[in-house]
């Protein structure tokens, strides 16, 4: 049996169409797999405050622009001066309860916790009194991701435990409840803003004896 022969022009047209389809498919695959990773494609994040100079900058691991693309629990681990706060958030279970659609964290530094609690009090909070620990930490969380300028403009902020904090301008930074100053403000994470503060807020009494405590 003989088969009809395809003319040369028709074969050439089919080959050209197949080549075009392959080229389009390859281009789309390449675009999907290789987004522009250049630094120009990511807006730089600016933080401010006297403590910022001691924290990672530029291309260093944990720099503010890198943290902006991280979930908040991962971002907290990269900031070296708030290890106590990060450990407390994790131990209390609050990290898994955070509002992923928007949250502001007023994160006391390790020195701030050392000035507030002695070792025995802190160990008890971390190992047994988790409800008290959660109450303490909720005094540092504000619903919605707010810059320091936004908080200052509002004049007050309500924490997730229902406490109303006054927010006032101090130089280029902010002061919360006339007690805690933002010492490195406007870190970003996915759905969050993180402001480092130099004092612990909340209702628990001070038990520090001046010797500080180890980081947890």
52-100 residue pLDDT tens: 999 999 999 999 999 999 999 999 999 999 999 999 999 999 998 887 7
* Superfamily in which the 45-197 domain is placed by CATH: FAS1 domain (2.30.180.10)
**Residues 129-174: pLDDT tens digits?**
999 999 999 999 999 999 999 999 999 999 999 999 999 999 888 9
Mean pLDDT of the region 105-122? 98
Burial 189-198 (b: 16+ CB within 10 A, else e): beebbbbbbb
* Cα distance between residue 177 and residue 78, in whole Å: 27
Q: pTM higher than 0.85 for the full model? A: no
pLDDT of 96 reads 87
CA-to-CA separations, 163 to 28, 48, 96, in angstroms, rounded:
52, 26, 22
Within 10 angstroms of residue 2's Cβ, the number of other Cβ atoms is 4
| Mean pLDDT (the chain, rounded) | 83
Whether residue 111 contacts residue 83, with contact meaning beta carbons closer than 8 Å, is answered with no
């Amino acid at each position: 049996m003989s088969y009809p022969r395809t003319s040369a022009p028709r074969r050439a047209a089919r080959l050209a169409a197949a080549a075009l389809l392959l080229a389009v498919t390859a281009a789309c695959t390449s675009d999907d797999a290789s987004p522009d990773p250049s630094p120009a494609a990511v807006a730089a994040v600016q933080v401010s405050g006297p403590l910022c100079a001691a924290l990672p900058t530029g291309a260093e691991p944990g720099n503010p622009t890198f943290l902006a693309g991280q979930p908040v629990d991962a971002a907290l681990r990269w900031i070296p001066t708030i290890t106590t706060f990060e450990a407390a958030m994790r131990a209390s279970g609050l990290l898994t309860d955070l509002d992923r659609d928007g949250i502001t964290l007023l994160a006391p530094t390790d020195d701030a916790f050392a000035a507030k609690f002695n070792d025995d009090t802190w160990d008890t909070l971390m190992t047994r009194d988790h409800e008290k620990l959660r109450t303490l930490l909720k005094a540092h969380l504000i619903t919605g991701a707010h810059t320091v300028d936004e908080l200052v403009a509002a004049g007050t902020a309500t924490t997730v435990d229902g406490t109303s904090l006054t927010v006032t301008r101090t130089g280029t930074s902010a002061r919360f409840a006339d007690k805690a100053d933002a010492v490195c403000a406007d870190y970003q994470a996915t759905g969050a803003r993180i402001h480092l503060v130099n004092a612990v807020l909340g209702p628990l009494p001070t038990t520090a004896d001046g010797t500080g405590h180890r980081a947890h």
